[in-house]
């Protein structure tokens, strides 16, 4: 494998022999707040999706962009953000990122429409891409080796809890409707935290930079961003627009941009040895298949989190608080799975933990889908507990040790570049998952739209007969109701009211009640069945990635070269080696 030039850090070789900075734990707490804010903003939006959509009048494709804009921007700037810290100072870039993250959070909270919110989320992701890669580099510079493992363990625990806190806090803030602001406090809460973090960083954080950081590859960044956007934009907008020819042209252009990127990165490596992407890493078959499996994993979960929220709130009619508290089963199980896999199972069993995690998650998906389809709108939180625990444990089994095990397949000198690819793959996977699941979920909802209407037809007919309306009128109302249910499921955005539903509206309050209750029941049936169908795809992906993890050597073990797993969200960003 061609050698990969790694920048040297500015930390003195005798860091353990000199007195450690007495302010290091305060500075560390500052970086913890930043990492927590980043991960919080990845998950906190999901539980507020229906409320945001209703308040801003957003189309479903715009909701997808509100989620995906953050992770796409983060993925595009992640590696470059680490190199900027190496070049210009990690404290400086950290503070610049925090300033823009706070301002972008304010813009998100004050957005007057979906377009402004999408743009603000994109800026938020860019800011996080500057801020977050500095965290572990600053940690390495601040702590002697004897304390580093303890500090990373604390950071891992805090970041791991962000998923649970994000879902629960988002639900609480939406439910409380603070000052009548509805969903907006989920972003505005970042403002006081950001200001306090900035003051603490300015006062207590030490500056550090790399002695010989690689030069920036701005052309590489532009080509990566173009390839990503040319793929995700038509996938997100295509169904809403009826798949015009230009959507396929853009996806073809994405492939062209990828080819240009590969060609340029090869040339740049020959010329100055500082490419954005070290293509020599792909000479390792286990690393390549591990990276592909990692990407598939996040494609699967990027989609799962979105349709899960839609099922609970749009399908079953649960409140944001009810949905958020239900998600705690998954979050707690993830913590248990991640903790045991990283500290106990993976060091002993290696790749088998990842394979088991994929299979357990797939089994959880199948069980969850079958349960929801069986009980429909009568599904309860407690019934969801077992499949959510299975999915959470499987998620933790994969998400905690994967980066470390896959990094073990490349030379230590290339670990920084490899970790950058893995983290970029995570962010890209989430964005692609959101786009692809929209196609699968709503296409199936349209295809199976008559199911709910068929199952409640007898109930509607019986209750209409009880109102005393003439038979022909009952038949006309029942036919209008059926058309309404089918057309609503066939909508590009199921929250929009089709013309047939307006025509079926009745002046009689008793008839309106019958139709409303039956409509909610039919919608729950359709959503539950489509959820099951979508999770079957998820289970198939989990089976496929489990085979991919089998490509890792049987004796693959966790690496211990200072690159550490960061909690259940795997926010590994060892930018000191990028």
Tokens for 448, please give them: 């199976």
Asked whether the predicted pLDDT for residue 524 surpasses 50, the reply is yes
More confident residue, 28 or 258: 258
Residue 10 has φ and ψ, to the nearest 5°, of: -85, -5
What per-residue confidence (pLDDT) applies to 531? 94
Q: Bridge-partner residues for 210, per DSSP?
A: 9
Q: How far apart are CA 344 and CA 495, in angstroms?
A: 46
Q: Do 27 and 142 meet the contact criterion of CB atoms below 8 Å apart?
A: yes
Q: How far apart are CA 227 and CA 263, in angstroms?
A: 14
Q: Per-residue pLDDT tens for 480-493?
A: 888 888 887 777 76
Asked whether the predicted pLDDT for residue 40 surpasses 90, the reply is no
Nearest to 315 by CA among 520, 51, 170: 520
> Percentage of the chain surpassing pLDDT 90?
24
What per-residue confidence (pLDDT) applies to 505? 59
Q: Where are the alpha helices (DSSP H) in 273-350?
A: 285-310, 320-340, 346-349
pLDDT tier at 383, thresholds 50, 70, 90: very high
Q: How far apart are CA 371 and CA 528, in angstroms?
A: 9
pLDDT tier at 126, thresholds 50, 70, 90: very high
Q: Do 438 and 236 meet the contact criterion of CB atoms below 8 Å apart?
A: yes
Query: Rounded to 5 degrees, what angle do the CA atoms 352, 357, 358 make?
Result: 100
Length of the chain counted residue by residue: 578
Burial (CB count within 10 angstroms: exposed 0-12, middle 13-18, buried 19+), residue 192? exposed
Asked whether the predicted pLDDT for residue 575 surpasses 50, the reply is no
Asked whether the predicted pLDDT for residue 84 surpasses 70, the reply is yes
The enclosing H or E element of 441 equals helix 415-447
Q: Which of 91-95, 469-473, 551-555 has the highest mean pLDDT?
A: 91-95
pLDDT tier at 212, thresholds 50, 70, 90: low
The enclosing H or E element of 407 equals helix 402-407
CATH class for the region spanning 22-213: mainly alpha
Q: Per-residue pLDDT tens for 280-307?
A: 888 888 888 889 999 999 999 988 988 9
Residue 210 has φ and ψ, to the nearest 5°, of: -85, 145
What per-residue confidence (pLDDT) applies to 3? 34
Which of 259-268, 273-282, 561-570 shows the lowest mean pLDDT across its residues?
A: 561-570
Q: Per-residue pLDDT tens for 428-454?
A: 888 899 889 888 998 888 888 888 888
Q: How far apart are CA 441 and CA 311, in angstroms?
A: 11
Average pLDDT over residues 231-249: 89
pLDDT tier at 90, thresholds 50, 70, 90: confident
What per-residue confidence (pLDDT) applies to 11? 42
Q: Which of 33-47, 51-65, 489-503, 564-578 has the highest mean pLDDT?
A: 51-65
What per-residue confidence (pLDDT) applies to 537? 93
Q: How far is CA 433 from the centre of its chain?
A: 8
What per-residue confidence (pLDDT) applies to 558? 58
Burial (CB count within 10 angstroms: exposed 0-12, middle 13-18, buried 19+), residue 399? buried
Q: Per-residue pLDDT tens for 128-177?
A: 989 888 876 777 777 776 776 667 666 666 665 666 667 778 888 888 88
- The dihedral through the CA atoms of 440, 443, 448, 449 has a sign that is positive
Mean per-residue pLDDT of the chain: 81
What per-residue confidence (pLDDT) applies to 156? 60
Asked whether the predicted pLDDT for residue 120 surpasses 90, the reply is yes
Average pLDDT over residues 347-355: 87
Asked whether the predicted pLDDT for residue 455 surpasses 90, the reply is no
Q: How far apart are CA 296 and CA 284, in angstroms?
A: 19
Q: Which residues contact 417 (CB under 8 A, 6 or more apart)?
A: 4, 277, 278, 281, 578
Q: What is the DSSP string of 85-150?
A: HHHH-HHHHHHHHHHHHHHHHHHHHT-SSHHHHHHHHHHHHHHHHHHTTHHHHHHHHHS-HHHHHH
What per-residue confidence (pLDDT) applies to 19? 55
pLDDT tier at 263, thresholds 50, 70, 90: very high
What per-residue confidence (pLDDT) applies to 341? 81
Asked whether the predicted pLDDT for residue 337 surpasses 90, the reply is no
Average pLDDT over residues 348-371: 93
Q: How far apart are CA 380 and CA 495, in angstroms?
A: 23
Tokens for 270, please give them: 């020959």
Average pLDDT over residues 462-491: 80
């Amino acid at each position: 494998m061609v050698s990969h030039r790694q920048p040297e850090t500015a930390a003195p070789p005798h860091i353990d022999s000199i007195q450690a900075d007495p302010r290091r734990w305060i500075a560390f707490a500052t970086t913890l707040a930043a990492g927590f804010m980043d991960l919080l903003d990845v998950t906190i939006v999901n539980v507020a999706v229906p409320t945001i959509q209703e308040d801003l009048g957003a189309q479903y494709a715009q909701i997808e962009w509100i989620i995906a804009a953050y992770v796409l921007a983060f993925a595009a700037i992640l590696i470059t953000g680490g190199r900027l810290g190496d070049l210009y100072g990690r404290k400086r870039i950290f503070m610049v990122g925090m300033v823009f993250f706070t301002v972008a959070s304010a813009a998100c909270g004050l957005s007057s429409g979906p377009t402004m919110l999408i743009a603000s989320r994109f800026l938020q992701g860019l800011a996080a891409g500057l801020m977050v890669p500095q965290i572990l580099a600053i940690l390495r510079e601040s702590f002697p080796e004897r304390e580093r493992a303890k500090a990373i363990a604390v950071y891992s625990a805090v970041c791991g809890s962000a998923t649970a806190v994000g879902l629960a806090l988002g639900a609480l803030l939406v439910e409380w409707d603070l000052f009548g602001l509805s969903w907006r406090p989920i972003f505005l809460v970042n403002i006081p935290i950001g200001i306090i973090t900035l003051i603490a960083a300015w006062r207590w954080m030490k500056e550090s930079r790399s002695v010989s950081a690689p030069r920036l590859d701005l052309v590489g960044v532009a080509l990566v961003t173009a390839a990503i956007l040319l793929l995700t934009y038509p996938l997100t907008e295509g169904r809403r627009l009826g798949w015009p020819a230009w959507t396929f042209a853009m996806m073809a252009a994405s492939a062209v941009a990828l080819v240009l990127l590969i060609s340029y990165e090869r040339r740049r490596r020959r010329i100055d040895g500082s490419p954005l992407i070290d293509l020599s890493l792909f000479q390792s078959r286990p690393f390549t298949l591990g990276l592909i499996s990692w990407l598939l994993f996040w494609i699967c979960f990027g989609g799962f989190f979105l349709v899960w929220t839609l099922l609970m709130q749009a399908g079953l009619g649960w409140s944001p608080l009810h949905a958020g508290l239900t998600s705690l089963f998954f979050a707690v199980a993830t913590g248990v799975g991640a903790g045991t896999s990283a500290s106990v199972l993976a060091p002993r069993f290696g790749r088998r933990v990842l394979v088991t995690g994929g299979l357990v998650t797939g089994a959880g998906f199948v069980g969850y889908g079958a349960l929801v389809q069986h009980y429909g709108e009568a599904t309860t939180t407690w019934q969801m507990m077992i499949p959510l625990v299975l999915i959470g444990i499987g998620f933790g089994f994969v998400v905690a040790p994967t980066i470390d095990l896959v990094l073990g397949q490349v030379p230590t000198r290339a670990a920084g570049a490899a970790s950058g690819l893995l983290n970029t793959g995570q962010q890209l996977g989430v964005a692609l998952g959101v786009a692809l699941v929209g196609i699968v979920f709503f296409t199936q909802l349209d295809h199976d739209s008559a199911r709910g209407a068929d199952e409640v037809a007898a109930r509607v007919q019986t209750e209409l007969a009880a109102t005393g309306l003439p038979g022909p009128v009952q038949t006309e109302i029942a036919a209008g109701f059926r058309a309404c249910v089918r057309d609503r499921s066939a909508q590009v955005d199921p929250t929009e009211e089709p013309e047939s539903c307006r025509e079926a509206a009745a002046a009689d309050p008793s008839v309106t009640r019958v139709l409303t209750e039956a409509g909610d029941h039919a919608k729950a049936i359709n959503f539950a069945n489509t959820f099951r169908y979508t999770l079957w795809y998820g289970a198939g992906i989990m089976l496929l990635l489990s085979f991919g993890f089998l490509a890792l050597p049987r004796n693959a073990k966790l690496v211990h070269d200072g690159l550490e797993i960061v909690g259940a969200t795997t926010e590994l960003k060892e930018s000191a080696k990028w």
